Chain A
């Protein structure tokens, strides 16, 4: 069975600084996909970044990048130049070919002005 663990219930970062959110996962599948979703107070789930397990290169999307360590089953999200609008819940998720997505319990990010 797949599991996704986010061990940081809450994190804080000063505006303009960098923060890293942790995620570890476990799957027996060789082909899988990893995601970070952002949930602001509006409740809408927004895709931040995705990573295909077969790709060695870490995904980046503007200020967001991941550190994908396949052997360690780690998938952390780095947010650079943090902005007030980055304050939200962040969920890590994993899916393989079984159509089932497993989400972590989330990390609440606070951005301090």
Chain B
């Protein structure tokens, strides 16, 4: 199993550009999520999904879109990049089983810089 994969690992964008961060998992997990990690702020939830066709907002959703057309993939779209979106982005997944386990499995992260 590859687990959770993310592409690209690094990306530099200019203000106003759009891009999609890719995330895929091969563990047949129903739950997938996106976080951003900023210095001194830990990980903050952007969006999450509990299955194909179902998404919901997290703590910091503004400026980001998601969709979930398959169980495996959960892309994150930046519609018009802003310098405030400079961050490290993590995708994570977990199985939704009654009684757990509830830990998430994380991808390797994408470092995004917006100039």
Tell whether, in the assembled complex, residue B41 and residue A105 are in contact, meaning their CB atoms are under 8 Å apart: yes
Using a Cβ–Cβ cut-off of 8 Å, how many residues does chain B contribute to the interface with A?
26
A47 interface residue (CB < 8 Å to B): yes
Tell whether, in the assembled complex, residue A103 and residue B43 are in contact, meaning their CB atoms are under 8 Å apart: yes
A35 interface residue (CB < 8 Å to B): yes
B50 interface residue (CB < 8 Å to A): yes
Binary contact readout B1-32 vs A (1 if CB under 8 angstroms, 0 otherwise) = 00000000000000000000000000000010
Say which size band chain A's interface belongs to: 20 to 34
Asked whether A103 and B109 contact (CB < 8 A) given A35-B103, A43-B88, the answer is no
**A37 to B35 Cα, complex, angstroms:** 14
**A42 to B88 Cα, complex, angstroms:** 12
Asked whether A104 and B45 contact (CB < 8 A) given A52-B100, A95-B102, the answer is no
**A50 to B44 Cα, complex, angstroms:** 19
Give the one of B42, B44, B48, B101 with max A CB within 10 A. B42
Q: Which residues of B contact A43 (CB under 8 A)?
A: 88, 108-109
**A9 to B41 Cα, complex, angstroms:** 11
Tell whether, in the assembled complex, residue A50 and residue B90 are in contact, meaning their CB atoms are under 8 Å apart: no
Q: Which residues of A contact B59 (CB under 8 A)?
A: 100
B104 interface residue (CB < 8 Å to A): yes
CB distance from B104 to the nearest CB of A (A): 7
Asked whether A99 and B43 contact (CB < 8 A) given A35-B103, A45-B106, the answer is no
A64 interface residue (CB < 8 Å to B): no
Binary contact readout A46-78 vs B (1 if CB under 8 angstroms, 0 otherwise) = 010010100000000000000000000000000
Q: Which residues of B contact A6 (CB under 8 A)?
A: 42
Q: Which residues of B contact A95 (CB under 8 A)?
A: 102
Tell whether, in the assembled complex, residue B108 and residue A99 are in contact, meaning their CB atoms are under 8 Å apart: no
The 5 closest A-B pairs by CB, nearest first: A45-B106, A103-B42, A103-B43, A105-B42, A33-B102
Chain B contact residues, CB within 8 Å of chain A? 31, 33, 35, 40-45, 48, 50, 56, 58-59, 88, 90, 92, 100-106, 108-109
